[in-house]
Amino acid sequence: MSRLESFIRRMTAQRDILDLVCAEVANIEGPVLELGLGNGRTFHHLRERLPGRRIVAFDRALAAHSSSIPEAENLVLGEIRETASRFIGIDAALVHADIGTGYEDRDAVTSTWLPDLTARLLRVGGIAVSGTPLDHPQLQRLPTPPSVPADRYFICRRV
Ligand code: SAM
């Protein structure tokens, strides 16, 4: 498969998963945390699907399109491992982590800290969506939609 085809599949999977979980998150109280604002495409999608919900976005640096920049109080710049730790206890309804690199060694490092941080950010019953695995005793894996290739995306519920 070409990288272009792989990219299209990844974006389609991301959209389908966010649509699936947003229907449920609409009934769960708490803010949404967007780990990895990037260009802001998924932030923009979440804002459309969850109107009025507080969405706090994190990244090393601001590189989002001007249409997709959160309010200053909801934009947190720096290394997510440190910055998001300050939000532990916020009882998020949804944590969306899009910080995979496609490099196995780098993503393996992310997997050493992201699952525990995610579990601590979510309220019980809250949902996590991630492009890298979220192996953690308090994160129960949920099925992905049929359109999503196996082990491409991970959906979990905080138990
Ligand atoms: N979901 C975004 C969108 O739809 O436009 C794309 C996110 S992009 C794939 C990943 C982003 O996460 C990059 O902007 C990168 O700077 C940021 N990132 C990755 N790892 C990070 C880390 N450990 N701390 C802070 N930012 C990180």
Q: What is the pLDDT of residue 37?
A: 98
- Quick one: tokens of 2? 């070409």
CA 110–ligand 1 middle distance (angstroms) = 12
At 150 the pLDDT is 75
pLDDT in tens, 106-144: 999 999 999 999 999 999 999 999 999 999 999 999 999
Instruction: Name the nearest CA neighbour of 14 among 152, 158, 156, 157.
Output: 152
Can you give the pLDDT at residue 52? 97
The larger pLDDT score, comparing residue 149 to residue 71, is at 71
Instruction: Answer whether residue 10 shows pLDDT above 90.
Output: no
Sign of the torsion formed by the C-alpha atoms of 42, 129, 80 and 104:
negative
Note the pLDDT of residue 119.
98
* Per-residue pLDDT at 7: 87
Q: Which atom of ligand 1 is nearest to the CA of 68?
A: 5
- Return the pLDDT at 152: 83
Residue from 99, 113, 114, 152 whose mutation best tests the ligand 1 pocket (most atoms within 8 A of CB): 99
Q: What pLDDT, on a 0 to 100 scale, did the predictor assign at position 4?
A: 94
Domains, the chain, in order of start with CATH, read: 3-158 (3.40.50.150)
User: CA 159 to CA 125: how far, in whole Å?
Assistant: 6
In angstroms, the Cα distances linking 115 to 2, 17, 26, 141, 156 are 30, 19, 23, 12, 10
Cα 89 to ligand 1 centre (Å): 22
Centroid of ligand 1 to alpha carbon of 63 (angstroms): 10
Per residue in 52-110, pLDDT tens? 999 999 999 999 999 999 999 999 999 999 999 999 999 999 999 999 998 999 999 99
Residue 107, SS3 per DSSP: helix
CA of 24 from ligand 1 middle (Å) equals: 24
User: Cβ-count burial of 9 within 10 angstroms (0-12 exposed, 13-18 middle, 19+ buried)?
Assistant: middle
Which of 59, 26, 45, 19 is closest to 153 using CA atoms?
19
Mean pLDDT throughout 30-53?
Answer: 98
Residues with CB under 6 A from ligand 1: 36, 38-42, 59-60, 63, 79-81, 98-99
Distance separating alpha carbons of residues 113 and 17, to the nearest angstrom: 23
User: 146: pLDDT confidence band, cut at 50, 70 and 90?
Assistant: confident
pLDDT at 154 over 90: yes
Q: Of 133, 130, 144, 120, which Cα lies nearest the Cα of 99?
A: 130
How many whole angstroms from 96 Cα to the centroid of ligand 1? 11
Q: Which atom of ligand 1 is nearest to the CA of 81?
A: 23
- Backbone phi and psi for residue 6, each to the nearest 5 degrees, phi listed first: -65, -40
Quote the pLDDT of residue 149: 79
